[in-house]
Amino acid sequence: MPNAPTLYTAVWSLTRTIPPGRVMTYGQIATLLGTPRAARAVGYAMFFCRDDSIPWQRVINAKGEISLGGHVDRPLLQRELLLAEGVAFDAAGRVNLKTHLWWPEITG
C-alpha cells in the first residue's frame, strides 16, 4: 500500500479526537477519511501505533468487539482501558454502539 504512511497519519490524527468513554469503528474511520474500503488498513494503523498520545483503545470493530489483531496481551489491555473510561461491555464482550459510538462533527 503506497499511501500507508499518509493514511496511517490521518488515522492516528482522527483517533486522537475520540473522547474518553466513546469509540469508533475501523470502517467508520476509513469512511470518514474518504477510503470506505480501507477498514483493514485502519486496523493495521492501530496495530503499528506506538505513540502514547493516540488513544488506540477507542477503535473497535463494527460488531462492537475488540479485535485480536495479532497481539497476545493488547486485547485485554484495551478492554481494561475502555472499562476505566466508562465503556461497558455486554455478556458477549461487545460494546453497545448505540451508547458509545462517537461521530465527530464535520465542518466544511
Confirm if 42 and 8 have CB atoms less than 8 A apart.
no
Q: What is the pTM of this model?
A: 0.90
Residue for cell digits 485480536?
68
Task: Collapse the DSSP code of 33 into the 3-class scheme (helix H, G, I; strand E, B; otherwise coil) and give the result.
Answer: coil
Domain residue spans in the chain?
A: 4-100
Q: Are 7 and 45 in contact (CB under 8 A)?
A: yes
**Fold of the 4-100 domain:** Arc Repressor Mutant, subunit A (1.10.10)
pLDDT band at residue 41, thresholds of 50, 70 and 90? very high
3-state secondary structure of 7: helix
Grid look-up 475501523 returns 26
User: pLDDT tens digits for 50-95?
Assistant: 899 999 999 999 999 999 876 778 899 999 999 999 999 999 999 9
The pLDDT value recorded for residue 72 is: 75
SS3 category, 83? helix
Per-residue pLDDT at 107: 56
